[in-house]
Amino acid sequence: MITVIQDDEIELKTKDNNIINDYEIYLKEKNECVGYILYRKKDELQKGEISCIIFPKYRKNNYAYKALTLLSEFLNKNNIDSFFITCDKNNIRALKTIKKYGQIVFEREINNNKILYCECKTLEKQKENNLQNKKNNI
């Protein structure tokens, strides 16, 4: 496994360096896999989609948010500045996590499940936009 990006607590690992990939989320100290974060893109014209799965015994530790932040940094370094995060409409914890990143823009039904799409910019792009907005307001 290749460590793609890490912080003090977690690291994202994958089998290869392809950006469009499944990443395993590991606790660095214990070398334990706590879940997955997935980045999918159907074609070059479409924004990629991110979804995250944290195993039940590791929930309520902010690992999804931390993994999303790391993956966002990795995408930004690879010239990708926006993406969608998807989650089931009834997944309250996931909704709280993704609302930190953007606005829910549409809902789609897949196999009788309502899936929400949240359009997001990488944190770096958000900072860049905020600075530009401040300059424009001066």
**81: CATH:** 3.40.630.30
Answer yes or no: is pLDDT of 131 > 70: no
Strands (E) located in the chain: 2-6, 10-14, 21-27, 32-40, 49-54, 82-88, 102-110, 113-121
Per-residue model confidence (pLDDT) at position 57: 96
Q: Which residue has the higher pLDDT, 96 or 128?
A: 96
Per-residue model confidence (pLDDT) at position 137: 63
Q: Average the pLDDT over 80-90 and give the result.
A: 82
pLDDT by residue (tens digit) across 19-47?
778 899 999 999 999 999 999 887 666 67
Residue 91: give the domain boundaries.
Answer: 2-137
Lowest mean per-residue pLDDT among 50-54, 94-98, 124-128:
124-128
Number of domains within the chain: 1
pTM reported for the whole predicted model: 0.78
pLDDT by residue (tens digit) across 99-120?
776 666 667 777 777 777 777 7
CA distances from 79 to 34, 53, 76 (A): 28, 25, 5
